[in-house]
Amino acid sequence: MSYDALFSPIKLRGLELKNRILLPGMNTKMVKNRHGVGEDAVAYHAARAAGGCGLNMVEIVSVCPESHAPLYFGMYTDEDVAGMKKVTDAIHAAGGKAGVQVWHGGFVPEQFFDETNKLETPDTLSVEDIHRIVRQFGEAAKRVVDAGFDTMEYHAAHTYLPHEFLNPYLNTRTDEYGGSFENRCRFPLECIKAIRANMPEDMPLFMRLDAIDEMMPKNMSEDEIVEFINQAADAGVDIVDLSRGNARSNATVYEVPPYNLEPGFNMEIIARVKARVKIPVAGVGRIVTPDLANKLIEEGKCDMVAIGRAQITDPEWCNKAKEGRDDEIRQCIGCTQGCYDKVIDPNATHITCTRNPMACLEYKGLNKTDTPKNVMIIGGGIGGMMAAEFLKARGHNPTIYEASDHLGGRFILAGKAPKKQGFTAAAEWEAKECVRMGIEIKTGVTVTPEMIAEVKPDHVIVAIGAEYKAPDIPGIDGADVYCVDDILSGKAKAHGETLVLGGGGDGIEVAQFLYEEGCDVRVMDKVRVGNGTGMLRNMFLNLEYTPDQIKRSNKSNILSIGDHEVTYKFTDKFKKTSTKTRHFDSLVVAIGITSRPTEALTAKCAELGIPCDVIGDAKEVRMGIDATREAYEVGTAI
């Protein structure tokens, strides 16, 4: 398919971009000690530039030390300039153009990431402090130019400091920088003018802004957003990059939208704003397919599209789209496990991706093997398939043995939950990719220890996944008690007043499935409903389903199951416990997913002296991102 609109050039001042695709600024956590740029960041951006992206907007860089948390890059020292010059040189060498977001985080760095940061917000800053920060924006802009960037983006969205000044709830000042709309615009506009004064005349200036201000006690109106954009244009902004979300409410979910949001969810709002402003508009909002991206440009809803996590998932997204290889694009599934959960995980050293565990590790490459090995992969779930792909790409000879009649494992089942069809599609895509790569696949084959001895592979990977095992609860085998797998697969059907035992990811998803099926659903968890599901997906449970639609019982530990009733121990907010009962028509057990036994297989490998690795749920029941990470690790180590 041809995407002429998407791949048409666009000129902004003196900068001509070869297509309309923008890699938006996204935090990667690859910074070293706040200032260092390593080979990982360089290779990450070079890969996406080589993949055909029109403009890489390198992530945020702090304009000053006060709001500079450890996970962000900086742009206020000579070291920052030298480090970022490595990134711009790599992007240019790969045929791309480079931009960067100049940024002051307001309350976000201190509140969420590092309490040692100085809290600088509209209500804590003196006028002298405001003037200092304006100067720092200008000084950072000069350093951006010195680092070889082709453009830069003023970040005024997501409740960072400029947004805080604009918002009538976050800005309670009563001087010339607060109160009226004109006064609230003063600081952001002064920053733009300072930036523009330190840029070459022919260098365009982007501005990131929220297309809608929402979910706070007071918000900017659409009229005010439009007026501010037009004032920003007069001050020197050439194109506005419209995003969505803030860190003061559940609107956080719109910054890194999970699969709960439809692709392009933000575009109607963006189109409405675009119709009223006098500069071009870039749009973002979970745009994952070239067909949608092209349509948005073609219909005039935006002038550029920000393709972010889709390019994390597949660095060759642009080239594949341009060459009509749509079927070869590895699509983002919106799980947010690697691109968001890892940002807020203090133990994670960089972001990653469930479908692309090489993200941020591009510098390591895929070394070709000098000694090809015959590798038996037992299990054709997402982990087994991706291990086979890495091995095949390196020159090994993997063979997948799958006990069922199809590949995909629990990813196929996961896709049965509402709005998770992308998981099934991902599993089916990986199966086709294995075929395309020429990987040998044997379905309907249950591998035994004797078979390992017969085949005599050079290496074995055990990826047989997990299965439901009934938990040790009296009455678990009673009438109208079902496991989550049987409900999602269609083997069983719940009805009436339905209790879901377990409020983790499986419990939440089957509860949504059951509600859509017409059941009266209550989820019960001994800790908290939504525990372990990830912040954004947990937020969406509250946004999509009211407590009346899906009822939730926290700190409710089921002790036994009787005739259509459960007995459970409830702990109230005062930590007082009591024993209660609750009726059900159907009970769905969403706990008890357990690793399949691997001991016989691994013991035979040990006996025969065959190296063996166990990965994914077969090793320990966790998330899909753990399975694919281990697939990468094993697939690149053999």
Per-residue HEC secondary structure of 231-250 comes to HHHHHCCCEEEEECCCCCCH
d(CA 495, CA 488): 14
Exposure of 182 by Cβ count < 10 A (0-12 exposed, 13-18 middle, 19+ buried)? exposed
Token code pair at residue 191: 């920053």
302 in helix, strand or coil? coil
Q: How far is CA 308 from the centre of its chain?
A: 9
Per DSSP, what are the bridge partners of residue 209? 242
For the four alpha carbons of 590, 592, 597 and 598, in that order, the dihedral sign comes to positive
Q: 488: part of which helix (H) or strand (E)?
A: helix 484-489
Burial letters for 524-537: b for 16+ Cβ neighbours within 10 Å, e otherwise?
bbbeebbbebbbbb
| Residues 21 and 304: beta-carbon distance below 8 Å | yes
Of the candidates 168, 105, 169, 181, the one whose C-alpha atom is nearest the C-alpha of residue 137 is 105
Task: Give 118-186 as a DSSP string.
Answer: ----TTT--HHHHHHHHHHHHHHHHHHHHTT-S-EEEE--TTSHHHHHHSTTT----STTSSSHHHHHH
Cα dihedral: 612, 616, 620, 626 (round 10): 130
Q: Is residue 160 annotated as a catalytic residue, yes or no? A: yes
Return the DSSP state at 112.
Answer: I
Return the DSSP state at 408.
Answer: B
d(CA 333, CA 116): 36
d(CA 504, CA 508): 6
| Residues 281 and 239: beta-carbon distance below 8 Å | yes
DSSP-based helix, strand, coil % in the chain, nearest 5: 35, 20, 45
Q: Give Cβ neighbours of residue 632 (< 8 Å, ≥ 6 apart).
A: 357, 358, 361, 386, 387, 390
| Residues 141 and 198: beta-carbon distance below 8 Å | yes
d(CA 523, CA 590): 10
Among 44, 160, 177, 401, the one annotated catalytic = 160
Of the candidates 551, 583, 580, the one whose C-alpha atom is nearest the C-alpha of residue 564 is 583
For the four alpha carbons of 126, 128, 130 and 136, in that order, the dihedral sign comes to negative
| Residues 190 and 235: beta-carbon distance below 8 Å | no
d(CA 611, CA 13): 59
d(CA 305, CA 270): 11
Per DSSP, what are the bridge partners of residue 402? 443
| Residues 104 and 160: beta-carbon distance below 8 Å | yes
Per DSSP, what are the bridge partners of residue 56? 23, 98
Active site residues: 160
